């Protein structure tokens, strides 16, 4: 749904990752989260200037870091149908565990990983309850 100033599929806040090795990062999010690549632009040196991917219902952007815009880690809280399965897939594709999946008092099953690019992913399945912070 367009609001007149936000492009199709974008939201008011859109995650943008700056990584070293954006092509490999794209493969990671494809394999782990089922991301669909929508668009890719490359620089003359072959690095990714800009790419757009759809993870679930969320558009995310990524590019290779540069001198002007260096790579930096990000943190994402991602909701999935099966936390344990996605956590396992992340580890199989090079992520390192931050914490194993567990039922949390705020109403979700959650596990955390650091991907091979330094980003933290808090993988969660909301199971309900009167979780603090959920409205």
- Convert the pLDDT of each residue in 15-65 to its tens digit: 999 999 999 999 999 999 999 999 999 999 999 999 999 999 999 999 999
Could you tell me which residues come within 8 angstroms of residue 25 by beta carbon, excluding any fewer than 6 positions away? 17, 19, 62, 115, 117
> Same CATH fold, 73-135 and 13-72?
yes
Structural domain 13-72, CATH architecture: 2-Layer Sandwich (3.30)
| pLDDT at res. 135 | 47
Instruction: Tell me what the pLDDT averaged over the chain comes to.
Output: 94
The CATH class that applies to domain 73-135 reads: alpha beta
Give domain limits for the chain. Answer: 13-72, 73-135
| pLDDT at res. 92 | 99
- Convert the pLDDT of each residue in 84-102 to its tens digit: 999 999 999 999 999 999 9
């Amino acid at each position: 749904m367009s609001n007149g100033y936000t492009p199709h599929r974008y939201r008011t806040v859109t995650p943008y990752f700056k990584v070293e090795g954006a092509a490999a990062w794209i493969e990671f999010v494809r394999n782990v989260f089922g991301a669909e690549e929508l668009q890719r632009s490359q620089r003359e040196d072959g690095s990714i200037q800009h790419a757009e991917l759809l993870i679930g219902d969320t558009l995310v952007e990524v590019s290779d870091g540069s001198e002007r815009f260096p790579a930096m880690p990000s943190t994402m809280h991602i909701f999935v149908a099966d936390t344990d399965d996605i956590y396992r897939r992340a580890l199989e594709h090079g992520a390192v565990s931050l914490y194993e999946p567990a039922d949390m008092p705020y109403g979700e099953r959650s596990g955390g990983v650091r991907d091979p690019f330094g980003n933290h992913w808090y993988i969660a399945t909301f199971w309900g309850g009167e979780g603090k912070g959920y409205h």
